[in-house]
Amino acid sequence: MLSNSYQRQVAEAIKEVETQTDAELVAIVAREADNYLYISTLWAAFLTLLLSPLFQFLPWWLSFQQAFLLQWVLFIALAVLFRWRPITMRLVPKKIKYWRASNLARRQFLEQELHSTKDRLGLLIFICEAEHYVEILADRGLAQHVSNDNWQVIIEQFVREIKRGKAGEALLLCISQCGDLLKDAAPCSAVKDELPNHLILIN
């Protein structure tokens, strides 16, 4: 999905959309919204405490200090294990993942200066891979003409394409569908290009 060839296709698709509308469209793919190390560490600490009663069944010849050391070893082992990304992402509640991804989307909306476009016609397509999160954010100039339900329909189509294994086509289709709404909501009245058209990657 992130090959150089694919990124060129995305840039061309965005450029094509912006020839038909006064809106500015930016597409961002982030690898993850957070490393969630605090959550994996909390899980390691919780399980270590949960398993602590089992230490009473250790051989009688182990001293208190040795038993305490074993607890620390268990905690460190679990903390390291839980830092493996597939396990980490399973430990993080979906609500927290979506909250972090949503915050990053809004920060990027501001950092990419989509809020400062002429007539407030900025649109962000934001994808967060690790969280499996997709959101379309429209500035107030577009929100007056296009409801959130319209953007949600496009997001649902994007998710369906991803589940069908068509990751490469999913974003291109999303851009095209957004373009159809944009040209009706804010048809092109002048040649302009305020923001970059390339796919922005956040690692």
| pLDDT (0 to 100) of residue 198 | 86
Pick the range with the lowest mean pLDDT from 34-43, 92-101, 105-114, 191-200.
Answer: 191-200
Q: How far apart are CA 155 and CA 170, in angstroms?
A: 10
Pick the range with the lowest mean pLDDT from 65-79, 87-101, 142-156.
Answer: 65-79
pTM of the model: 0.86
Mapped onto helix, strand or coil, the DSSP state of residue 162 is helix
Name the strands in the sheet holding 133-138, side by side, starting at the edge strand that comes first in the sequence.
133-138, 122-128, 24-30, 200-202
Residue entry with tokens 């949600």 = 152
Q: Counting runs of H as helices and runs of E as strands, what totals does the chain give? A: 8, 4
By C-alpha distance, which of 145, 173, 150 is closest to 161? 173
Pick the range with the lowest mean pLDDT from 53-57, 76-80, 168-172.
Answer: 53-57
Determine the average pLDDT of the residues in 87-102: 95
By C-alpha distance, which of 101, 85, 88 is closest to 42? 88
Q: How far apart are CA 122 and CA 24, in angstroms?
A: 5
